[in-house]
A and B are shown apart, each in its own frame.
Chain A
Amino acid sequence: MNFPILSSLILLPSIGALFLFFTKSDKKNNFTGKYVALFTSAVNFFLSIYLWILFDPTTSEFQFVEERIWIKDLINYKVGVDGISILFILLTTFITPLCIVSVNNSIKERLSEFLIAVLIMESFMIGVFCSLDLVIFYLFFEAGLIPMFLIIGIWGGARRVYSAFKFFLYTLLGSVLMLVAIITIYWLNGTTDVVELYNSGIDIKYQNLLWLAFFSSFAVKTPMWPVHTWLPDAHVEAPTAGSVLLAAILLKMAGYGFIRFSLGLFPTASEIFTPLIYTLSVIAIIFTSFIALMQEDMKKLIAYSSVAHMGYVTLGIFTIQQQGIEGSIIQMISHGLVSAALFLCVGVVYDRMHSRLINTYGGIVSIIPKYSILFMLFTLAALGLPGTSGFVGEFLILMGAFKDNFLVAVIASLGVIIGAAYMLWLYKRVVFGKLINTDLKQMFDLNRSELFILSCLAVPTLFFGFYPDPLINTIEVSISDLIDQYNFKLASKT
């Protein structure tokens, strides 16, 4: 494979951003600017589909690997994908164009700057998912903070400054410890190349501390209870497209990191800390579900539900069962689609009524029926109704959990009920009931672009709900190999 397809995926959005930067931004050009951004991200999406077609799911080896000397004798630029990372790349390239379409309605000023930030963000996120070197990974992982900080801070709501700072400092604080760990790994093994580290393994003496350092970063980013508090703030204040990016892709970086690095590099430590993860995950599932139940702000409710969903993800990852990890990845993909859609749904009514409070609404089903149908679909997907992708993920995770730890699995299953409760209650209060607020009558139904975005998200949600095979086929071999490696390392060292 001579054509550097992964590097192109990373670079293309940045080039688009650069192009946007040099086109003057007046009212007329905003229009073209949008099409430039849309075009770039759409090309990127098709490129990633092409990547998926070329991808060989029968091997767990890294494919499309590119390696170049970057810092001499120190770090090589190395990218590649396996079954685990390719789906996240697809998710990123799929969500970004939809975000760009959605800015029509929500972003009023400084549009081209916003698009630049989104495109650069896309570059960084694709970089995170395909980097095969710890330093490169860290670079992309951290760099994403800059555009996201600006997206929240410039285009956000009333408390945007507070939220942007909280987001930035929380994540930075988590990540610096990971940097120490990465340098320590370099010092121990003389390399930060992930493939080589997989083969050589890491000294057991250091694993626990290194695991904790990585954990501190991923836990904040996931986010896990009790360091999840930045997420509701960031979500609530971010503009719709920002929330979508945050929920759909940014949160997945940590789940991906857990699979790729915590399991892959530190099996012994992962085994030791599994109870910790279980505890935090279960607390996240139950506790934040209850918090979500009590929210009055729609965005906040969905943000808390994200925390709960990510609780399932971390739970599934650390079951170290085929089903558990598969379920986690599918849950992440599904959550990427569904939470993105839910935030967009909130965005739709917010653009019309400028309120995110649940009690502003009620009885809108007869006024905007198309919206209500799609909103219902995503509500049901979020609570994991069979036939939606949310079900596949949750079901597999719980299956894996039952194999590993009965008690944890039972408690987590109870979380599903609360999940259903808050989502359905939200839907009931917003869509059904009596129409009290007469201003709502002026609302118009989904316009073309909104309908387009939400349908785009609805199709895969349903498709993968009925037929998850394409996803499972892609990840199956990589995961079984990961688990084999994990058990092998565990057995050989302790």
Chain B
Amino acid sequence: MENLQLVLPEIFLSLSIMFLLILGVFKKNSSRLVQSLSLAVLIITAVITFNETIGINETKIFNNSIIIDYLSSLMKIITLLAAFLVLIISSNYLKTFQIFKIEYPILILSSVLGMMVMINSNDLIVFYMGLELQSLALYVLATFNRDQIKSSEAGLKYFVLSALSSGLLLYGCSLIYGFTGSTNFNVIADQLNSNEYALTFGIVFILVGLAFKISAVPFHMWAPDVYEGSPTSVTLFFTMVPKIAALTVFIRFLYVPFLNLIDQWQMILIFLSIASMLFGAIAAIGQTNLKRLVAYSSIGHVGYALAGVAAGTNDGIQSSVIYITIYILMNLGLFSCLLMLKRDNNYYEKIDDLSGLSKNHPMLALSLLIILFSLAGIPPLAGFFAKFYVFKAVIEQSMYFLAIVGLLSTVVAAFYYLRLIKIMYFDEQKEKYDTDHGFWLKFSLTASTLLILIYFIFPSQLIEVVSRIDII
């Protein structure tokens, strides 16, 4: 009998999803109830994950197809918490557009379930299953505001392109299966014969698929359109939560079965990283829509996270995890600000709408200022430390080129963050925005800003949390 306790979080989450679905169907007007219950479910799942799995050593169950270790537990908890925050701050937005329906929390829960499966996976098939589960939920989420053409278009675009990338990914899986005779990560590692070029092809195809999911250049084309078209709360979800799972799979997939082929995938990863950092920084300069700008900025940030993965060491992995955690925090703050740009049931998402914000809403502008400087990586804010750890790991491997290009692209990126600050602080003021934002939105903005601001006082804590990650 397998130790079912280890997958208790997933079991609990799936049962809850089914229960909530039934509840939603049979009870009229239950969207508020379902929303609250979903929040509770996310928290309970996180607690279960914390209690059951975070302390244990690496364990594989179900024929070695699922792996429970510190990395997976940590990433699951981060995913769950991020999803919780997204869900809790999106309710006002959804109500404004009258799409506050039971499906929304349930879809988020199912995609979170998919991500948890991905994070746990130690087998290509399990991994693919998780990936598709989360993707299917995300397609629907992108079209959630179905009366708007843009939203439908975003969902369709995402679906078509994502399906293509899934196809490539599957093709890669089948190549690897064909040459090693197994889908299990550990068996693949044993059977590995680096002379098989077809294996490299397999890795490349899978990397393409993963790069697509994490929106790394040159597989990023969907991101700006989808981010722009989707409802803002869904965009927030897109920029934060799937990235955690995809990054974990990146780490797991490259470091467990293919560590010995590091020479072959390292180059690809460095390319992805450099291209993302540079392209994200340069392309964002011309944007006039905040959501598109965030899309490009998130492409850039994914590049930095991948730089840590490319280092090929535990330090690198840890720095990536720190990076993505801090990035999530910053993004949460950024979107909380976006969700506050509301006037008369209308959300504003043009860059110019920020004009003179510092005069009308000084606190909101100040928070956004801190978040933007942090995103630009200016010390002493949290974003600087994220970059510092990544580049420390990278330079320890003597990858100076990557480090220098990365840091130079932060200078380019600083330009568009500064432009936002300029618009907020130096330009003339416009009409005021609404101020009744609800407790949770204010809470998430204040909390994330404060954490970013005072991170430098307690930098050791986060390092301690990730320092137990040990993959190699």
Binding site for B on A (CB under 8 A): 69-72, 74, 135, 138-140, 142-143, 145-146, 149-150, 153-154, 160-161, 164-165, 168-169, 172-173, 176-177, 179-180, 183-184, 186-187
Binding site for A on B (CB under 8 A): 373, 378-380, 384, 388, 391-392, 395-396, 400, 403-404, 407-408, 410-411, 414-415, 418, 421-422, 425-426, 456, 459-460, 463-464
What is the CB-to-nearest-CB distance from A123 to chain B, in angstroms, rounded to a whole number? 10
Beyond contacts A150-B425, A153-B426, A176-B408: 15 other A-B pairs, Cβ-Cβ < 8 A, are A69-B460, A72-B463, A143-B380, A149-B421, A164-B418, A164-B422, A168-B414, A168-B418, A169-B411, A169-B414, A172-B378, A172-B411, A179-B391, A183-B388, A184-B395
Cβ of B460: which chain A residues have Cβ within 8 Å of it?
69-72
Report the bound CA distance from A161 to B418 in whole Å: 10
**15 A-B contacts (beta carbon < 8 Å):** A72-B463, A138-B379, A139-B379, A140-B379, A146-B373, A146-B378, A150-B425, A153-B421, A154-B425, A154-B426, A165-B422, A176-B411, A184-B395, A184-B400, A186-B392
| Shortest beta-carbon distance from B72 to chain A in Å | 25
CB distance from B419 to the nearest CB of A (A): 8
Give every chain B residue within 8 A of A149 (Cβ-Cβ): 418, 421
Q: Which residue of B lies closest to A127 (CB)?
A: B380
Question: How far, in Å, is A312 (CB) from chain B's closest CB?
Answer: 30
By a CB distance below 8 angstroms, the chain A residues around B425 are 150, 153-154
**Are A177 and B373 interface neighbours, CB within 8 A?**
no
Most buried by B among A69, A142, A145, A176: A176
Measured between alpha carbons, how far is A150 from B421 in the docked complex, in Å? 9
What's the least CB distance linking B387 to chain A, in Å? 9
Q: Are A142 and B459 in contact (CB under 8 A)?
A: no
Q: Are A173 and B408 interface neighbours, CB within 8 A?
A: yes
Within the assembled complex, what's the spacing in Å between the Cα atoms of A74 and B426? 39
Q: How many A-B Cβ pairs are below 8 Å?
A: 82
- Pair A165/B415 contact, Cβ less than 8 Å: yes
Distance in angstroms from A451 CB to nearest chain B CB is 33
Task: Please state if B407 and A71 are interface contacts (CB–CB under 8 Å).
Answer: no
Chain B: minimal CB distance from A139 (Å): 4
Query: Given the interface contacts A72-B460, A161-B422, A168-B418, does A180 sit within 8 Å of B391 by beta carbon?
Result: yes
B426 touches A161 (CB 8 A): yes
CA distance A184 to B463 in the complex (A): 20
Task: Name the A residues within 8 Å of B464 (CB-CB).
Answer: 72
**Separation of A71 and B459 alpha carbons in the complex (Å):** 6
- Taking CB atoms, residues of chain A closer than 8 Å to B426 are 153-154, 160-161, 164
A186 to B47, CA, bound (A): 38
Q: Which A-B residue pairs are the 4 nearest by beta carbons?
A: A176-B407, A139-B379, A72-B460, A183-B395
**Complex: A138 Cα to B388 Cα, angstroms:** 11
A179 to B390 Cα, complex, angstroms: 12
**CB-defined contacts of A142 to chain B, threshold 8 Å:** 378-379, 384
Is there an interface contact between A139 and B392, defined as CB atoms closer than 8 Å?
no
Cβ contact of A176, chosen from B400, B410, B418, cutoff 8 A: B410
Q: CA separation between A72 and B458, bound complex, in Å? A: 10
Chain B minimum-CB-distance residue to A141: B379
Name the contact of B396 in the complex, choosing from A154, A172, A187 (C-beta under 8 A).
A187
B411, A183: Cβ atoms under 8 Å?
A: no
CA gap between A257 and B355 in the complex, in Å: 38
Distance in angstroms between the alpha carbons of A335 and B391 in the assembled complex:
37
Determine if A180 and B378 form an interchain contact, defined as CB atoms under 8 angstroms apart.
no
- Closest Cβ–Cβ distance, residue B421 to chain A (whole Å): 8
Does A180 lie within 8 Å of B379, measured CB to CB? no
Question: Distance in Å from the Cβ of B324 to the closest Cβ of chain A?
Answer: 19
Decide: B459 and A177 in contact? CB cutoff 8 A. no
How far does the alpha carbon of A172 sit from the alpha carbon of B417 in the complex, in Å?
A: 13
Closest-by-CB residue of B relative to A109 is: B359
A211 to chain B, nearest CB (A): 15
The answer to whether residues A180 and B403 also contact, given A153-B422, A154-B426, A165-B422 and a CB cut-off of 8 A, is yes
- List the B side residues contacting A143 at CB < 8 Å: 378-380
List A contacts of B373 (CB < 8 A). 146
Q: Are A70 and B379 in contact (CB under 8 A)?
A: no
Please measure, in the bound complex, the distance between the C-alpha atom of A169 and the C-alpha atom of B376, giving whole angstroms.
Answer: 11
Q: Given the known A-B contacts A176-B407, A186-B392, are A169 and B379 also in contact in the complex, defined by CB atoms under 8 Å?
A: no
- Whether the pair B422, A70 counts as a contact (CB closer than 8 A) is no
Question: When chains A and B are docked, how far (Å) is the Cα of A60 from the Cα of B422?
Answer: 45
Given the contacts A179-B407, A183-B392, A139 and B418 also touching, CB distance less than 8 Å: no
Q: Knowing A71-B460, A153-B422 touch, does A169 contact B415 (C-beta < 8 A)?
A: yes
| Complex: A461 Cα to B425 Cα, angstroms | 38
Q: How far is the CB of A401 from chain B (nearest CB, A)?
A: 35
A161 CA to B355 CA in the complex, in Å?
Answer: 14
Question: Looking across the interface, which residue of chain B has its beta carbon closest to that of A72?
Answer: B460
By the criterion CB–CB under 8 Å, are B404 and A180 in contact? yes
- For residue A73, give the distance in angstroms from its CB to the closest CB of chain B: 8
Query: Which residues of A lie under 8 Å from residue B422 when comparing CB positions?
Result: 153, 161, 164-165
A164 to B421, CA, bound (A): 11
Q: Are A183 and B391 in contact (CB under 8 A)?
A: yes
- CB-defined contacts of B418 to chain A, threshold 8 Å: 149, 164-165, 168-169
In the complex, which residues of chain A have a beta carbon less than 8 angstroms from the beta carbon of B414?
168-169, 172
Closest residue of B by beta carbon distance from A152:
B426
Give the docked Cα–Cα distance between A140 and B384 (Å). Answer: 12
Which A residues touch B380, using CB under 8 A? 139, 143
Residue of A whose beta carbon sits closest to that of B415: A169
For B404, the chain A residues whose CB sits under 8 A away are 177, 180
Which residues on B sit within 8 Å (CB–CB) of A168?
414, 418
A343 to B24, CA, bound (A): 70
The reply to whether B407 and A180 form a contact with Cβ atoms under 8 Å apart is yes
Contacts of A72 in B (CB 8 A): 460, 463-464
